Amino acid sequence: MIFAEVIVDISVKSLDRPFQYRVPEELQEEAVIGALVVIPFGKGNRQMKGYIIGLSEIPKYDVSKTKSILRIEKQGVAAESHLLSLAYWIKENYGATMNDAIKTVMPVRREVKERVVRRIFPEVPAEELLRWREEFDRKHNSARVRLLDGLLHSEEAFRQGIAYDYAVKELKVSSTVIRGLEERKLIAVSAKQFYRNPVVDLAKTEKRKRLNPEQQFIVDSFCRDIEAGVCKNYLIHGVTGSGKTEVYIELIEKILARGKQAIVLIPEIALTFQTVSRFYARFGNKVSLMHSKLSQGERFDQFTRAKRGEIQIMIGPRSVLFTPFSELGLIIMDEEHEPGYQSDHPPKYHAREVAVQRGKMLHASVVFGSATPSLEAYYRCETGQYQLFRLDKRAGCALPPKVQIVDLREELRAKNFSVFSRALQERMTECLQKQEQIMLFINRRGYAGFVSCRQCGEVIRCDSCSVSMKPHEYQGRIHLLKCHYCGAQKPMPSVCPSCGSKYIGTFGLGTQQVEDMVKKRFPAARVLRMDADTTSGKEGHDKILKKFAGHQADILVGTQMIVKGHDFENVTLVGVLAADLSLNAGSYRAAERTFQLLAQAAGRAGRGRKQGHVIFQTYQPGHYSICCAAKEDYVSFYRQELAVRQLLHYPPLSNILEVLACSENREEVLRLSGDLKKELQKFQDIIILGPVDAPIAKLKGLYRRTLFVKAAEYSLLCRSKDCLEAFMRTHEHYKNCRLTFDFNR
């Protein structure tokens, strides 16, 4: 006998839990996961619709009382059912409740009515608005001028309008003035916040480009596959500026011509006006855009538009992967290597894997693009799961930058204790003299502290995991170093174990600190700083970049935020102050992240006609991630890094699962993590590391312990996860503890 787990149709809003139904013999063939079924529900056996999200042969309740599915709806499989089966796949592969998984793939309709926010939008192009502003200024209509200034204040204000309340309260513009301008058709007041189609302003500038032979080759191969009815996964490996976006646009056109739809994933940080407007310019109002500032309700509306067929292209970060298009033909994922594609709350899915799965379910093609592909993606090209394309040349005329690696150990020997090497100082001086601009970059991503020798560059690492060990302080002194994966410990050495130098200690560098030092060393230079502190305001990020673009500063100091997507013509020098910060981040991905960050940082220099210079400062000048980034040699980096991953059983050659156990009670979490380990020991062919305290051992009142599990087969990790979930279900006394799973982060 077969039983189906059925989730009641979401429009009836009761998606709390699945209910078990019997599948009658005659329906067993059609009863697949995702199928839309009619079931008798509740006491009155009211007929309701639902979706099958799981099948099994084991009844949960008394079989004689289990009701049967009445029939299976045949009106084609709806977008929802595809998404439900995707949710089920996510739950199975990443570990989460079905509820969490469903919420991930379908934004829930909000019960509460959202407050209506009226906004004011410009109705004419910016130039015309400017002319009107001058006119009003001449006539001393200062309220009108204030309103137009508000709209012209920034690109964002012009594009998204300004809040009506803001105009009245802050700009002190009366409703009569607003109505007057509305009647003149200079502005429009609308209750809905939406992205205006900027095509009006851009249509003139965006001409269709003639693809170069490399670009054309990709488009032709893609078309041939599509014609033959083959849907594949592709990776376009091409440096920044090699014309990937141009190819994406062309591919979308081909897909739309076949009456299908496309999803374009772009990391939030790269979702700039520049990028998005290129899609608008070509496809006009067929495009919709989603971003994290939209509310749940707005997200829901966007999805509804997609479902109704009002739009054909959805652009946005991770979550737009679940846009309910009925004829999805293409998923594009730009900057495929970005960590932001991996969800950081359960289910902790990776959009790359889910994109492939969704493509497979719907018979859609998937195109990944990156200048620095993840090891996963490139490895899959080698194993034939993705097809590889390359774009080696920059499409524009920019020259590749000149890159220099500076050995910081030499600086110490020459008694230079500053964070700026002699080479960097010289270049900076030169640059400032020529009135060119400089970016100084501190790559702190994932940085957790490490201990190294300033004399020889030695970093204290875990002997079995090869990652840098994290210092633990006690009464203001570091006494212990710990491995974040396996928990191995070493005492803090007093001299360098490699060269005997006493210059051994923790290493750190903050943006504030660097800003101060720049000001001291170059007092005449105008300095801007960009990090989490200075960009906290809503428009802080844009404001700083705009200032820098307008040459209101000579030097921009910042974290990885500054290396993304912005072109500054006048920047001719990029300095990475300590490549070691990301290189010793304590994760097996540290070398990969370092390569990516350095390659990206280097790509910022010399975007205009002038020659760009790049300096990487480091204590490990011989490290392959640094050398290869300097030479823009991805393949050589990939080969060396893959060898390391193979040796230590890390992805993509193996798989790693992090199990995080949390409890309010420290004793309990200690006991639980020990019990979990015992459960896992029942498996063969897996490696168990830990349990150890998580890097953040206590968070929001919960004690946290982690276990890492490595296995060659992903499915084995899934089975381990299932086993632990079953353990939690059957051990009542741990009901106050929680487990979360994180695969291959």
Q: Is 687 in the site for Zn ion (CB under 5 A)?
A: no
Of the pair 315, 465, the CB lying nearest Zn ion is at 465
462 touching Zn ion, by CB under 5 A: yes
Task: Name the residue nearer to ligand ADP (CB basis): 370 or 654.
Answer: 370
Least distance (Å) between residue 249 CB and ligand ADP? 8
3-class state of residue 713 by DSSP: coil
Q: 238 to 257, contacts with ligand ADP by CB under 6 A?
A: 238, 240-246
Q: Which is nearer to ligand ADP, 52 or 545 (CB)?
A: 545
Order of all β-strands in the sheet with 19-22: 19-22, 3-8, 46-56, 36-41, 71-72
Bridge partner residues of 367 (DSSP) = 234, 332
3-state SS class at 594: helix
First to last CA, the chain: 39
Contact with ligand ADP (CB under 6 A) among 197, 215, 534, 618: 215
Q: How far is the CB of 423 from Zn ion (least distance, A)?
A: 23
Task: Choose the stretch contacting Zn ion; rule: CB under 5 A; options: 257-265, 486-494, 527-535, 699-707.
Answer: 486-494
Report d(CA 260, CA 280) in Å as an integer.
Answer: 18
Residues forming beta bridges with residue 702, ordered by sequence position: 699
Structure tokens at 414: 């020459």
User: Which among 349, 338, 317, 340 has a CA at the least distance from the CA of 592?
Assistant: 338
Q: Which does 168 bind (CB under 5 to 8 A by kind): ligand ADP, Zn ion, none?
A: none
Give the Å distances, CA to CA, from 519 to 79, 208, 284, 524, 529: 57, 46, 46, 8, 11
- From ligand ADP, Zn ion, none, interface partner of 582 (C-beta below 5 to 8 A by class): none
Residue type, 587: S
Distance from C-alpha of 7 to C-alpha of 4, rounded to nearest angstrom? 10
Binding flag, residue 208, ligand ADP (CB under 6 A)? no
**Residue 210 C-beta: closest distance to ligand ADP, Å:** 6
Q: Among 200, 456, 653, 670, which residue interacts with Zn ion (rule: CB under 5 A)? A: 456
Interaction partner, residue 420 (Zn ion, ligand ADP, none; CB < 5-8 Å by kind): none
**With CB cut-offs between 5 and 8 Å by kind, which of Zn ion, ligand ADP, none does residue 453 bind?**
Zn ion
Instruction: Determine the interface stretch with Zn ion among 48-56, 387-395, 452-460, 585-593 (rule: CB under 5 A).
Output: 452-460
According to the binding rule CB under 5 A, does residue 597 interact with Zn ion? no
Of 60 and 209, the one with the shorter C-beta distance to ligand ADP is 209
Nearer to Zn ion, 465 or 590 (CB): 465
Q: Which does 580 bind (CB under 5 to 8 A by kind): Zn ion, ligand ADP, none?
A: none
108 backbone dihedrals φ, ψ, rounded to 5°: -80, 140
C-alpha 265/C-alpha 573 separation (Å) is: 31
Tell me the Ramachandran region of residue 45: left when phi exceeds 0, alpha when psi lies from -120 to 50, beta otherwise.
left
The residues, any chain, with a CB within 8 Å of residue 147's CB and separated by 6 or more, are 120, 167, 171, 173, 177, 178, 181, 187
DSSP state at residue 525? S
The piece of 43-51, 175-183, 333-341, 447-455 that touches Zn ion (CB under 5 A) is 447-455
List the interface residues with ligand ADP, window 221-240 (CB under 6 A). 238, 240
Please choose which of ligand ADP, Zn ion, none residue 209 contacts, taking the beta carbon within 5 to 8 angstroms, the exact cut-off set by kind.
Answer: ligand ADP
Residue 732 Cβ vs ligand ADP, minimum distance, rounded to whole Å: 54
Measured from the CB atom, the residue of 140 and 210 that comes closer to ligand ADP is 210
Residue nearer to Zn ion on the CB measure, 412 or 453:
453
Work out whether the CA dihedral 539, 542, 545, 547 comes out positive or negative. Answer: negative
By CB under 6 A, the count of residues binding ligand ADP is 15
Which of 250/353 has CB closer to ligand ADP? 250
Q: What's the Cα-to-Cα distance from 594 to each of 463, 500, 576, 627, rounded to whole Å? A: 21, 28, 11, 11
Least distance from ligand ADP to the Cβ atom of residue 265, Å: 14
Q: Which stretch binds ligand ADP (CB under 6 A): 128-136, 208-216, 428-436, 605-613?
A: 208-216
Strand duo 36-41 + 46-56: pairing: antiparallel
212 binds, among ligand ADP, Zn ion, none (CB under 5 to 8 A by kind): ligand ADP
CA distance 115 to 129: 30
CB of 284 to ligand ADP, least distance (A): 18
Q: Is 648 in the site for Zn ion (CB under 5 A)?
A: no
Dihedral-angle region of residue 457 (phi above 0 means left; psi in -120 to 50 means alpha; beta otherwise):
left
**What is the distance, to the nearest Å, from the Cα of residue 425 to the centroid of all Cα atoms in its chain?**
35
Q: In this chain, which of 69, 98, 252, 496 binds Zn ion, going by CB under 5 A?
A: 496
Q: Is residue 486 involved in binding Zn ion (CB under 5 A)?
A: yes
Closest separation between CB of residue 401 and ligand ADP, Å? 15
**Structure token digits, residue 544:** 């700083």
Question: What are the strands, taking DSSP E only, across 201-357?
Answer: 233-238, 261-265, 287-289, 313-316, 328-334
What single string gives the DSSP state of each residue in 236-280? EEE-TTSSHHHHHHHHHHHHHHTT-EEEEE--GGG--HHHHHHHH
| Least spacing, CB of residue 194 vs Zn ion, in Å | 51
- The entry of Zn ion, ligand ADP, none near residue 709 (CB within 5 to 8 angstroms by kind) is none
Q: Which is nearer to ligand ADP, 101 or 218 (CB)?
A: 218
DSSP 8-state class, residue 317: S
Query: What pairing do the DSSP bridges indicate for beta strands 313-316 and 387-391?
Result: unpaired
623 binds ligand ADP (CB under 6 A): no
As measured in angstroms, the least distance from the Cβ of 588 to Zn ion is: 10
Q: For the chain, what is the total number of helices (H) and then of strands (E)?
A: 24, 30
Q: Per CB under 5 A, which region of 453-461, 509-517, 645-653, 699-707 contacts Zn ion?
A: 453-461
483 binds, among Zn ion, ligand ADP, none (CB under 5 to 8 A by kind): Zn ion
Sole binder of ligand ADP in the list 110, 209, 363, 413 (CB under 6 A): 209
List all residues 6 or more positions away from 64 whose beta carbon is below 8 Å from its beta carbon: none
Question: Nearest 5 degrees, angle CA 154-CA 160-CA 162?
Answer: 75
Residue with tokens 């928990």: 487
Is residue 723 a contact residue for Zn ion (CB under 5 A)?
no
Q: Cβ of residue 291: shortest distance to ligand ADP, in angstroms? A: 19
- Residue with Cβ nearer ligand ADP (129 or 366): 366
Asked whether position 395 contacts ligand ADP by CB under 6 A, the answer is yes
DSSP state letter for 350:
B
Interface residue with ligand ADP, options 72, 211, 256, 670 (CB under 6 A) = 211
> In sequence order, which residues have a C-beta less than 8 Å from that of residue 545 and are 6 or more positions away?
530, 566
Helix (H) or strand (E) holding 720: helix 714-730
Beta bridge partners of 388: 235
Using an 8 Å Cβ cutoff, are 4 and 55 in contact? yes
Give the binding site for Zn ion (CB under 5 A). Answer: 453, 455-456, 458, 462, 464-465, 483, 485-486, 488, 496, 498-499, 501
Give the binding site for ligand ADP (CB under 6 A). Answer: 209-212, 215, 238, 240-246, 395-396
